[in-house]
Amino acid sequence: MLDPRRLRSNLDDVAAALRRRGFELDTARFSALEEKRKALQVETQELQNERNTRSKAIGQAKARGEDIEPMRARVAEIGARLEQVAKALDEVQAELDGMLLEIPNIPHASVPDGEGEDDNVEVRRWGEPPAFEFKPLDHVALGELHGMDFAAASKLAGARFVVLQGPLARLHRALIQFMLDLHTQEHGYEEVYVPYLVNADSMRGTGQLPKFEQDLFALKGEQGFYLIPTAEVPVTNLARDEIIEARDLPRRLVAHTPCFRSEAGSYGKDVRGMIRQHQFEKVELVQLVPPAESYQALEALTGHAEAVLRRLELPYRVVTLCTGDMGFSAAKTYDIEVWLPGQERYREISSCSNFEDFQARRMQARWRNPETGKPELLHTLNGSGLAVGRCLVALLENCQEADGRIRLPEALRPYMGGQAYLEPRK
C-alpha cells in the first residue's frame, strides 16, 4: 500500500510514477473520495468532542448533586447525529481503503521503463552454456530415464503435478538441504519453519489479496485458510503488527516450503514438464531491514541466490525487470534466469525484490528508529533461493551425459551419499 498522505499531497506525481508501470490511477475518484472523507471526518470529530465534553460535565454536575436531566437530553441529540455522520464516514473510508489496496507499488527510479518481458535489461551473466557433442535431451525426456512420472501424478491429482521416484526424489531433497545449509551457514540467514496454510490477513499483508485471489488455492470450511503460494507470505508476515528493535535488524530469514499456485491465466504456458506446477518446493530468502539499507540488501540477497547456481555450476544471467513486468508489490526486482539447454534459453529460477515499505505498511511491520525514537515502517525484501523444481530441471539438462547419466556437481555430492553420477533407472 502506498502512503495515503503521499497520495493526498502529490497525487499527480504518484499518478505519473504509476503510469510508468502501466497503471492508470483514477485521480478524479480519489480526490472526490478524499474530499468527502475530510469533511465527514472533521464533522465526526467535532461531534465527538462535543459529546465528550458534555458527558464529562454531566458527571461533574451529578457529583455536585445537581439535576442532570436537561443536559442528558441535549447529549442524546448529539449522539443521534453523530451516528449518522459516523456511518457515512465509515462508508467513504471503506471505499477509499479498497481503492488504496489495489494500487500497485511505485517503481524505483533505477527500474527501466518497458511493457513486458522483452524490455527487461540484462545486468550480468555467469558461466557458459554447455557445448554438447550430442543432441541434448530436455528434462522431460531425461526425467523419463530417471523416475519423473507425470502419468502417475495426473492419476493422483491432475495436470501440473509430478511424481519423482528413487534417486531423483533424493536429488530433489538434496537440493533443498544444500540450499538451506548454504544460506544458514554462509549467508547469515536464520532458518524458520512456518505454516503452509495462512489466513486472509497474511495474504493481504504481502499483497496477494484482495487483487489476486484467483491465483490462490483456498480451502473449504469456515477457517478461511489459503494454501501459501510462496514462503514469502508466512515468513514476511512474522513481522506483521510487530515493532522490532534496531539492534535486532537486519532480520535475514530462510524457509523451505511447498508452494501452491492455481496458475489461473497461464493456460497453455509451459504445459510440458515441471516448469510450471500447481505444487512445487522453494527455498525462500526474506529480509527485514531499516529503509536506508534496503537497496544494498537487495544486491546482497540477489547475490545469495546467485551463489546457489554458482555452487551448482549452472550458467545463469541476471535481469532487471522493467516497469511493465514487475509484480504488484515490488519497487524493484532482479530475476535470475538459468540456462536450459532443452529450451535453448534462460528461464526464471529466482525473483528477488525490494518492496520498500509497501508490504510493511499493509501489515504494520515496524522498527524503532533510534534517531527518532519512533516506530517506523520497515523495508521488506525477498527472493527465491531457489525454486527447487526448476533447479532440478536445470541440473538434469545442463549436467547430462551422452549415455543419459547426470553428473552431480561437487557441492551436491555430500547430500547424495558421495555419488558423482545419477544413473538412469532403465
Residue count at the site for RNA (CB under 7 A)? Answer: 33
Give the binding range for RNA (CB under 7 A) out of 25-33, 70-78, 119-127, 178-186: 70-78
Report the residue number, 34 or 263, with the smaller CB distance to RNA.
34
Residue 218 binding RNA, by CB under 7 A: no
| 81 near RNA, rule: CB under 7 A | no
Considering only residues 11, 15, 33, 58, which one is a binding residue for RNA as defined by CB under 7 A?
Answer: 58
Q: Which residue has the cell 509497501?
A: 358
Separation CA 316–CA 119 (nearest Å): 18
Cα of 218 vs its chain's centroid, Å: 17
- Cell numbers placing 374: 519512533
Q: Which region among 125-133, 205-213, 232-240, 372-380 touches RNA (by CB under 7 A)?
A: 372-380
| Residue 54 engages RNA in binding (rule: CB under 7 A) | yes
Is residue 31 within the footprint of RNA (CB under 7 A)?
A: no
Rule CB under 7 A: is residue 369 a binding residue for RNA? Answer: no
Residues 4-23 binding RNA (CB under 7 A) are 4-5, 8
Q: Binding RNA by CB under 7 A: which of 6, 19, 62, 425? A: 62
- Quote the least distance from Cβ 332 to RNA, whole Å: 24
- Residue whose CB is less far from RNA, 174 or 244: 244
Q: How far is the CB of 3 from RNA (least distance, A)?
A: 8
Residues numbered 236-255 forming contacts with RNA, rule: CB under 7 A: 243
Residue 291 binds RNA (CB under 7 A):
no
261 belongs to the catalytic site:
yes
- Is residue 191 within 8 A of residue 254, CB to CB? The reply is yes
Q: Judge whether 169 and 274 are in contact, CB under 8 Å.
A: no
Question: Which lies closer to RNA via its Cβ, residue 367 or residue 415?
Answer: 367
Which of 19, 56, 124, 272 lies at the binding interface for RNA (CB under 7 A)?
56
Catalytic site residue 252? no
Active site residue 350: no
The 337-366 contact track toward RNA, x by CB under 7 A, reads -----------------------------x
Residues in the site for RNA, rule: CB under 7 A? 4-5, 8, 38, 41-42, 44-46, 48-49, 51-56, 58-60, 62, 68, 72, 75-76, 79, 222-223, 243, 366, 373-375
